[in-house]
């Protein structure tokens, strides 16, 4: 059995791509997209017609409406290939506006429903800012399921659990990137220290440790929010989280897992988490903001992630003109 098939025994495998023509070979349950992945896809000749068709049919609508239609078009194509759910992202420029995020999410869901897609098959992706989490709480109460993304800290995960969101996407690779860069980025030890890859791999990877802490907290305290590790840099990060509720994986890493037959052991389990002595944590807005501010990595990566998605949203709009 290859590692991809072995992983599917413990974890729901999700494809992280806008390239829906690649999906069939990996047979994922779900799929996730984001503005950067859609931008990457529409620049390929095989996907350009989707953009052109959307502009031809809806070019007189406001740009934000055209973008939502394009995202939903991709989502519908993905849903035709997978049995589960697709995640579609609200414009990152709304990350600090609760009311606007709620309105945009409702419009995206209405577009899906107009195409005959049941809302159970769609997760609305929202950045894990305080405002985004409050928007998600409101949407969940109205039966619209959410995926809280750009999640880098335990505080963000706690607030998402309190908000009863459907799913969170803690970013493993970007956490790893930050710690590696802050340690000097060297691949081996020097007299002054530096990053030693072997010491920070697999279970010791800072991104893996972050997801494990969140997963154990949720399971220990009966929090129903699903944990979906995301943003992987290597296969070792994935195998170290085997047993996590879901893992969303780029096609290149899915291919690596599928071509490897090394044994794969379950690393996380709800039953093991239940045995841990972990305090229950909750956050008010003030304590959330303070905890996030105290976490330099999470503060920097959240801001950087929102900025990057905003840049790609603008680029996508430029292609629609």
- Give tens-digit pLDDT for 230-245: 999 999 999 999 999 9
pLDDT of 5 strictly over 70? yes
Reading the block at residue 8, the tokens are 């599917």
148 C-beta neighbours (distance < 10 Å), count: 29
Tell me how far apart the 2 most distant CA atoms of the chain are, in Å: 63
pLDDT band at 187 (very low <50, low <70, confident <90, very high): low
- How many CB atoms sit inside 10 A of residue 284's CB? 10
C-alpha–C-alpha distance, residues 247 and 211, integer Å: 11
pLDDT of residue 105: 98
Nearest to 292 by CA among 160, 162, 154, 135: 154
Across 197-240, the runs of DSSP E, i.e. the strands, are 226-229
Domain ranges of the chain: 3-320
Under the banding of pLDDT at 50, 70 and 90, the label for residue 69 is very high
**Tokens describing residue 314:** 């603008």
Read off the pLDDT of each residue in 109-122 and give the average, rounded to a whole number. 98
pLDDT at residue 184, rounded to an integer: 86
Beta carbons within 10 angstroms of residue 187's beta carbon: 10
* Token digits of residue 21: 């023509």
CA quadruple 65, 68, 73, 74: dihedral positive or negative? Answer: positive
Residue percentage of the chain with pLDDT more than 90 = 95
Q: Which residues are catalytic?
A: 125
- Is the per-residue pLDDT at 254 higher than 60? yes
Confidence category of residue 186, pLDDT binned at 50, 70, 90: low
What is the rounded CA–CA span in Å between residue 127 and residue 107?
A: 17
Backbone dihedral region of 150: left (phi > 0), alpha (psi from -120 to 50 degrees) or beta?
Answer: left
* Region 89-116 average pLDDT: 98
Rounded Cα–Cα distance for residues 23 and 81 (Å): 7
Q: Are 219 and 280 in contact (CB under 8 A)?
A: no
Q: Which residues, other chains included, contact 272 with Cβ-Cβ below 8 Å and sequence gap of 6+? A: none
3-320: CATH topology is TIM Barrel (3.20.20)
What's the first-to-final CA gap in the chain, in angstroms?
A: 48
Q: What is the mean pLDDT of residues 287-314?
A: 98
For the chain, give the mean pLDDT.
96
Alpha-carbon distance of 80 to 40, in angstroms, equals 20
The pLDDT of residue 191 is above 60? no
Residue range 53-57: average pLDDT?
Answer: 97
Confidence of residue 19 (pLDDT cuts 50, 70, 90): very high
Give dist(CA 22, CA 26) in Å, integer.
Answer: 8
User: Can you name the residues that pair with 168 across neighbouring β-strands?
Assistant: 148, 227
**267 pLDDT higher than 70:** yes
pTM greater than 0.85: yes
């Amino acid at each position: 059995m290859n590692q991809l098939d072995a992983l599917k025994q413990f974890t729901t495998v999700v494809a992280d791509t806008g390239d829906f023509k690649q999906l069939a070979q990996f047979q994922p349950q779900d799929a996730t997209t984001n503005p950067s992945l859609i931008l990457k896809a529409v620049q390929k000749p095989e996907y350009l017609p989707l953009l052109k068709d959307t502009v031809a049919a809806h070019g007189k609508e406001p740009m934000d409406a055209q973008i939502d239609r394009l995202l939903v078009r991709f989502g519908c194509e993905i849903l035709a290939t997978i049995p589960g759910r697709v995640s579609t992202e609200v414009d990152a420029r709304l990350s600090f506006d609760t009311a606007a995020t709620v309105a945009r999410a409702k419009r995206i869901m209405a577009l899906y429903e107009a195409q005959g897609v049941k809302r159970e098959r769609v997760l609305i992706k929202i950045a894990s800012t305080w405002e985004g989490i409050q928007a998600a709480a409101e949407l969940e109460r109205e039966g619209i399921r959410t995926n809280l993304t750009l999640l880098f800290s335990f505080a963000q995960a706690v607030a998402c659990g309190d908000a009863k969101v459907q799913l969170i996407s803690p970013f493993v690779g970007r956490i790893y990137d930050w710690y590696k860069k802050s340690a000097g980025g060297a691949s081996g030890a020097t007299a002054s220290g530096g990053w030693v890859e072997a010491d920070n791999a697999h279970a010791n990877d800072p991104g893996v440790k972050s997801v494990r802490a969140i997963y154990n907290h949720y399971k220990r305290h009966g929090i129903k929010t699903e944990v979906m590790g995301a943003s992987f840099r290597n296969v070792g990060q994935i195998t170290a989280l085997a047993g996590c509720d879901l893992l969303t994986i780029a096609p290149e890493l899915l291919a690596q897992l599928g071509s490897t037959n090394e044994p794969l052991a379950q690393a996380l389990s709800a039953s093991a988490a239940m045995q841990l002595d972990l305090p229950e944590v909750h956050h008010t807005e003030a304590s959330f903001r303070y905890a996030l501010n105290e976490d330099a990595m999470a503060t920097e990566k959240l801001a950087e992630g929102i900025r990057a998605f905003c840049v790609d949203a603008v680029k996508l709009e430029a292609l629609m003109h």
